[in-house]
Amino acid sequence: MSYELLGITILWIFLFGYLLVASIDFGAGFFSYYSTISGKRHIIHRIIERYLSPVWEVTNVFLVFFIVGLVGFFPDAAYYYGTALLIPGSLATILLAIRGSYYAFSTYGSRDNRIYQFLYGASGLLIPAALSTVLAISEGGYITEQGGKVSFEFSKLFTNVYPYSVILLAIVSVLYISAMFLTYYAAKAQDEPALQVVRKYALFWSLPTILASLFVFYSIKGHNEQHFYNMVDNGWMFVMSFLFFLTAVLLVWRRRNYGIAFVAVMLQFGFAWFGYGKAHLPYLLYPYLTIHDNFTNPAMATALITVFVLGLLILIPSLFLLMRLFLFDANYVKGIKDGKGGKGGQDNAGATKA
C-alpha cells in the first residue's frame, strides 16, 4: 500500500470514528431538547445525561486528528478548501463553542434554562449540516481555479440539489444513529419507560435515513457521474450496508438484542462510509486535487502515519476504558453511581433524581 493510500485510509478511519461518536452526541442533544417541549424530559433526560456526562469532552478528538492529518498529508487541501470552508467551518466552530458552553452551564446550575436547551438541541442538527457541505464541495462544481487563483462559487452551493441531499442525509443519520444507541443504552439501564420512548425514535428515523441515502444516490448521478459509476462498481458494499440496516431495524422492531442491533448500525454506516470513500478515490476534490498531488515528503509521511497509528492505539483503548468504567458500569448505567464517585437515588422510571 502506498503512502498516499495509507494516509487517506487512516484519516477516513478517524472521520468514521467522529461520525459515530459525534452523531450520538448531536442526536442526544436534539432529543434532550425535544423531550423538554414534548413533555417527556422526565422520562429520557437522565439516560441522555448519563451518556453525555463522561464522553462529551472526547468527541472532537477524532475531528481534530482528521483536520491536522489532512493538512499534514495533503498540504494543497488547505489551499483549495480554505475559502470554501470559511463560512461552514466558522459556523461549525461557533456551534461547537455553544455546545461546550451548554455543558459548562448545565454542570454549574443552569441546566433548566430554555434558551441554553434550545441552542444545544439546534446545534445538534446544524453542526452536521454545516460539516456535511465539505462532502458536497469535494464532488466538484463549486471551486474554480483560474490564473493560479482559487475561487469558490458560493451561490452554486444553494442552487444545486446535491448539497441539500447530503445535508438531509447528515441530519437524519445523526438522529437515527443516536436513537439506536440510546435504545440500547436504555435497555442496558433497564429503564423501560425511557426504552419505549427512544425505541420509537429509532424506528421513526430509520425510514427517512434509508430514503435520504437513496436521494443522495439519485442526486450524485446528476452531479458527478464518474463517482456514481464508481459507487456502482463497489455496489456490494452498499448492499451489505442495506442488509445491516434491515438487521438493526428488525431487531429493534422485535424488541430484542439491542446491543447487536447497534453493532449492525455501525456496520451499516461502516460499509456505506468506506464504499463512498473508495469510490471517491483518487480525488480529494474533483477535478483539481487527488491524493497523489503534492503529497508530503516520505519522511513527513512516515512520521505522520506513525503518530496517527499510535493515536488510534491510544484513543480506541481509552474510549473502551471510558465506556467500561462509566457508560457500561452496572451501577452507573442504572443511575446508582453518578460518575463522579458519588451515589444517586433512582426514581420509578429507573433514572437518577435531580
pLDDT reported for residue 28: 84
Task: Say if 346 falls within a structural domain.
Answer: no
- CA torsion angle 161 82 303 292 (round to 10): 60
- Residue 341 counted as domain residue: no
Strand ranges (E), the chain: 143-146, 149-152, 283-285, 289-290
Question: How many domains does the chain contain in total?
Answer: 1
Residue 57 has a pLDDT of 63
Contact 99, 29 (CB under 8 A): yes
Give the SS3 label for residue 348.
Answer: coil
Q: Say what the pLDDT of residue 342 is.
A: 45
Distances in whole angstroms, Cα of residue 193 to Cα of each of 54, 81, 253, 334: 23, 46, 16, 13
Is residue 172 assigned to a domain? Answer: yes
Q: Identity (one letter) of the amino acid at 245?
A: F
Structure confidence at residue 335 (pLDDT)? 53
Q: What is the pLDDT of residue 345?
A: 43
Task: State the Cα–Cα distance between residues 202 and 213, nearest whole angstrom.
Answer: 16
Q: 290: helix, coil or strand? A: strand
Q: Which domain holds residue 39?
A: 3-333
Q: Is residue 92 a part of any domain in this protein?
A: yes
Q: Residue 162 in contact with residue 223, Cβ under 8 Å?
A: yes
Give the pLDDT of residue 30: 86
pLDDT one digit per residue (tens) for the chain, 354 residues: 687 888 889 889 988 988 888 888 888 888 888 887 877 777 777 777 666 655 656 677 788 888 888 888 888 887 777 777 777 778 888 887 777 776 666 655 555 667 777 887 888 888 888 888 888 888 888 888 777 677 777 777 788 889 999 999 999 999 999 999 999 988 887 878 888 889 999 999 999 999 999 999 889 988 888 888 999 999 999 999 999 999 999 999 999 899 999 999 999 999 999 999 999 988 888 888 888 877 888 888 888 888 888 888 887 777 777 666 655 554 555 555 554 444 444 443 333 332
Helix (H) or strand (E) holding 89: helix 86-107
Given phi > 0 = left and psi -120 to 50 = alpha, else beta, which region is 141?
left
β-bridge pairing 143-146 and 149-152: antiparallel
Beta bridge partners of 149: 146
| Residue 187 · residue 328 · CB < 8 Å | no
| Domain-embedded: residue 250 | yes
For residue 302, tell me if it sits in a domain.
yes
Q: Is residue 351 assigned to a domain?
A: no
**Contact between residue 162 and residue 136 where contact means Cβ atoms under 8 Å apart:** yes
Q: Would you say residue 339 lies in a domain?
A: no
Q: How many CB atoms lie within 10 A of CB 204?
A: 12
